[in-house]
């Protein structure tokens, strides 16, 4: 999970730098259907867990990509949003660096907490 967290943070940092280089925060209007931060956090957590499960499935790359995309569509459907709403909201938060930093701080904390819970619950108790 640590390797996964570093990879995610590296990719997101690169994405943020690319997006912020293109436009300034004052140039980006608020999308008409901006997802609230709490919903973005929830979606991002689920998306990263979905990506980890897809990678762990050890499928060929094209099969894994197809599986991920279908599961991603199902996730959006369950949350009653479409992919363009998610992308526009992500882009808006990415342009506003502090917003995305706050969101990802919560995402990383949540994923780290889940990792700790998984590792402690799978470790057998010590014998007296």
Tokens of 27: 């140039």
pLDDT-above-70 percentage for the chain: 73
Distance of CA 74 to the CA centre of its chain: 15
Task: Work out the burial of residue 97: count CB atoms within 10 Å of its CB; fewer than 13 is exposed, 13-18 middle, 19 or more buried.
Answer: middle
Residue 117 has pLDDT above 80, yes or no: yes
Among 6-10, 58-62, 114-118, the range scoring the smallest mean pLDDT is 6-10
Q: Do 35 and 85 contact (CB within 8 A), yes or no?
A: yes
Is the per-residue pLDDT at 34 higher than 70? yes
**With contact defined as beta carbons under 8 Å apart, do 61 and 52 qualify?**
no
pLDDT tops 50 at residue 25: no
pTM here is 0.70
Residue-level pLDDT at 124: 62
* Contact (CB, 8 A) for 54 and 64: yes
């Amino acid at each position: 999970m640590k390797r996964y967290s570093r990879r995610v943070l590296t990719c997101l940092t690169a994405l943020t730098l690319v997006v912020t280089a293109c436009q300034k925060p004052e140039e980006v209007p608020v999308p008409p259907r901006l997802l609230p931060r709490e919903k973005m956090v929830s979606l991002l957590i689920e998306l990263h867990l979905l990506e980890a499960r897809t990678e762990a499935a050890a499928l060929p790359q094209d099969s894994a990509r197809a599986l991920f995309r279908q599961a991603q569509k199902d996730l959006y459907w369950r949350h009653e949003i479409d992919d363009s709403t998610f992308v526009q909201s992500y882009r808006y938060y990415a342009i506003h660096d502090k917003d995305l930093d706050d969101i990802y701080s919560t995402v990383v904390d949540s994923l780290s907490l889940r990792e700790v819970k998984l590792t402690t619950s799978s470790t057998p108790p010590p014998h007296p």
